């Protein structure tokens, strides 16, 4: 798929109450991590992957998201709607060009976007096969927050249900999905069948599950770390500790961290086995 044709859409309408007081006066995507706003990390990753046209769907304090180089969409019902309502707010783009859609509360390396762009399915997601080490660092009971994800032959067969055990998931959806116009037409058909009220309360994984149930193939693109979800103050504190530690970190999304690993391997300062072992720290 031509990267020049593909657009980027960042869903950033939410407030992020679990990040208060950081979000008392700013949208969740403007929370700082590693010295930069989440939104800046997202914009850089999308652009580094070759996506030039990017839009942000705002809601809470949307005026703070205005930038000369991005298009604005607005979710006026952000207080009482779920993620899919923000997605629908960008339908003018989704109907006419392939779009990589990103949650506004995640950070990721450009390689995740590049892998998604290589997918051939009309709907495709990115999922992390190394998710357990991250979830076990974030939560006392990881299965309480994680969702089901089953992948067969490169396609999602189940997603979004509560987990009874960690082994019930092949990975975790990271919050990156790509729709072609044909894939989005399938999504609009499913949403119309559910009705406006049900669609308004739908989360993205629920829409993906409905597409799978409707017979739509949803491609699944695996990655191994290099991303994070920022949902709570504990997340911010955990990631700050990992970024300031000397040990390599599997979920460090920054390009500088990737370059550092490559340098150590090329110079023999740290061999592959030791580097991989060190990177398993959550």
Give the tens place of pLDDT for each residue, 137-185: 999 888 888 999 999 999 999 999 999 889 889 999 999 999 999 999 9
Indicate if the pLDDT at residue 270 is higher than 70: no
Q: How confident is the model at residue 263 (pLDDT cuts 50, 70, 90)?
A: very low
Tell me whether residue 225 is in a domain.
yes
Residue 69 lies in a domain: yes
Residue 185 to residue 121: CA distance in whole angstroms: 13
How many structural domains compose the chain?
Answer: 1
Does 137 map to a domain?
A: yes
Residue 258: pLDDT band with limits 50, 70, 90: low
215-246 per-residue burial string, b: 16 or more CB within 10 A, e: under 16: ebbbbbbebebbbbbbbbeebbebbeebbeee
Q: Note whether residue 42 is domain-resident.
A: yes
* Chain centre distance of CA 67: 21
- Greater confidence (144 vs 8) lies with 8
Cβ neighbours for 31, distance < 8 A, ≥ 6 positions apart? 16, 19, 22, 23, 37, 38, 105, 230, 236
The rounded mean pLDDT for the chain is 89
Q: Cα separation of 19 and 158, whole Å?
A: 30
Is residue 100 within 8 A of residue 178, CB to CB? The reply is yes
Q: Which of 112, 84, 141, 81 is nearest to 251 (CA)?
A: 112
> How many Å apart are CA 90 and CA 93, to the nearest integer?
6
Cis peptide before 112 (omega within 30 of 0): no
Q: What is the pLDDT of residue 273?
A: 30
The alpha carbon of 173 is separated from its chain's Cα centroid by a whole number of angstroms, namely: 7
Query: Does 263 map to a domain?
Result: yes
pLDDT of residue 272: 31
Within-domain flag for 2: no
Where does the pLDDT of residue 271 fall: very low under 50, low under 70, confident under 90, or very high at 90 and above?
very low
pLDDT given at position 4:
53
**pLDDT attached to residue 81:** 84
Predicted confidence (pLDDT) per residue in 205-239, tens digit: 999 999 999 999 999 999 999 999 999 999 999 99
Q: Is residue 1 part of a domain?
A: no
* Nearest one of 85, 58, 59, 54 to 71, comparing CA atoms: 54
Stated pTM of the model: 0.88
Provide the residue range defining the domain that includes 109. 7-279
CATH number reported for the structural domain that contains residue 238 in this entry: 3.90.550.10
**Owner of token pair 């740290």:** 270
Question: Is the pLDDT confidence value at 46 over 50?
Answer: yes
What pLDDT sits at residue 77?
A: 86
């Amino acid at each position: 798929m031509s990267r020049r044709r593909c657009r980027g859409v960042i869903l950033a309408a939410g407030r992020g109450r679990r990040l208060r007081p950081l979000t008392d006066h700013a949208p969740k995507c403007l929370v700082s991590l590693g010295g930069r706003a989440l939104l800046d990390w997202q914009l850089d990753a999308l652009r580094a992957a070759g996506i030039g046209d990017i839009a942000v769907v705002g809601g809470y304090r949307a005026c703070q998201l205005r930038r000369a180089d991005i298009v604005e969409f607005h979710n006026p019902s952000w207080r009482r709607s779920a993620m899919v309502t923000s997605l629908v707010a960008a339908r003018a783009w989704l109907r006419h060009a392939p779009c990589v859609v990103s949650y506004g509360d995640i950070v990721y390396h450009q390689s995740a976007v590049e892998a998604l762009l290589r997918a051939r399915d009309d709907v495709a997601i990115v999922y992390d096969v190394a998710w357990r080490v991250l979830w076990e660092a974030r939560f006392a009971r990881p299965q309480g927050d994680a969702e089901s994800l089953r992948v067969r032959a490169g396609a999602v067969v189940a997603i979004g249900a509560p987990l009874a055990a960690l082994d019930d998931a092949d990975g975790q959806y990271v919050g990156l999905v790509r729709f072609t116009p044909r894939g989005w037409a399938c999504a609009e058909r499913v949403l119309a069948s559910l009705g406006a009220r049900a669609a308004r309360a739908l989360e993205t994984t629920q829409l993906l599950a409905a597409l799978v149930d409707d017979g739509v193939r949803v491609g699944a693109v695996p990655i191994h770390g290099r991303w994070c979800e920022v949902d709570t103050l504990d997340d911010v504190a955990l990631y700050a500790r990992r970024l300031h530690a000397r040990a390599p970190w599997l979920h460090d999304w920054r390009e500088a961290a990737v370059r550092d690993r490559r340098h150590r391997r090329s110079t023999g300062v740290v061999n592959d086995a030791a580097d991989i072992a060190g990177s398993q720290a959550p």
